[in-house]
Each structure stands twice: as C-alpha cells, then as structure tokens.
Homo-oligomer: A and B are copies of this chain.
C-alpha cells in the first residue's frame, strides 16, 4: 500500500486542502490559521461559521501568552492536546484541578459539578490569564458570574463547551460581559477545538518572536 508517511508532509498537504475547500473567507491574516487548525482537528468546515472573536480576544490572549501567563483548562484532554514544546518554549503552564481530591470532595458535598469547584480554585490564582473551557457549561457560568461582580478579569476566555444541555446558552451568556473572548457558537466545540485554538496562537507567537 502506498501512502504519505512523513508527518510534516501530511500536515502541509492537509492545510493546502483545507485552504482550497474553505475558499474565500472574511478572516484576517492572524485568525485564518486558527480557523484552518480547528478544521484540521475536526474535519468539519462548519466551524468557520461558528468561531467568533469578541472584545479583542485574539490580541489580549496573545499578550497573555507573551507574558507567560498560565492557562486554565477545564479538561485533561486539552492539557494533553496542546503542544508541549510550544508551551515549554514560552514558559507557559496549563493547569486543571478537576481531578484533585479536594475538588471532588467539595463538589460532592455541595451537589455541584467538579468543574464549578475547579474553576473557583483557578480564579484564586492571579497568574492564570487564559480560561479555556471545552466541556463544562457550569465552569463557564461560574466564570461569567465572577467577572460580573468584578472578582475576575481574564485576559482571554475561550468559550467552547460542547453539548446539548446548557452549552450553547452558556456561550451566549458571554454577551453579558466585556472580557476578551474567543468562542464557538451553538452546540459544537469541545476539548480538541480548544486545543486547536491554543495551538494556533502558540504557533503564531513562535512566528512573532
């Protein structure tokens, strides 16, 4: 069987196909690589219509990455899918507390999701600049509530919970705050999409330096 077996060649050819099939689009030069990387990750061109950037989300997020701010991710899948070398090159750490024993215990006692308690723990850490949510609407709601009362000022919120209950609504609720935002509208999103957004920004950062 004949097939391409060189990783770099596979990725380059993939992006050529995506660029060709995406055709004409309205994305600025800085955002087009992000759109293409999301499509590369999902094989789903609908994401070109679902991605939305509000309140200077891209620029503010890039600035936070340049400053080496931590990224809070609401799933371990995001943690393992973001390029480790790119993170290390820029001294950036991705944190997540969903599997911590104290978080599990408190969530059970209060009858709320571990995502909520984990988010509250992250909000106490000033070195976290980017909040990347790919799974839990409850995490996003908790974050929005804290921003509304002035208890949090994220450099960037990536709002991309996926699912059928509360996901679309939680992302719509981001309209209530004026934080820098990158979001995926509707039901779609998820950890691989969040990781694609972060990887696109990290690779762009590499090129800017």
Contacts and interface: CB of A to CB of B under 8 A. Distances in A.
A40 B192 contact: no
Given A42-B190, A77-B81, 16 more contacts: A1-B141, A3-B137, A3-B169, A5-B116, A6-B112, A6-B113, A10-B163, A10-B166, A14-B164, A40-B164, A41-B162, A43-B162, A43-B188, A44-B188, A77-B191, A79-B80
Given A42-B190, A191-B77, A192-B191, A17 B173 contact: no
Interface SS of chain A:
helix
A138 interface: yes
Contact of A3 (B6, B162, B170): B170
Interface residues of A, number: 47
Interface in A128-157: 137-138, 141, 144-145
Nearest to A80: B76
A44 B50 CA distance: 14
A40 B163 contact: yes
Nearest to A111: B6
Interface string A89-130: 000000000000000000000011110100000000000000
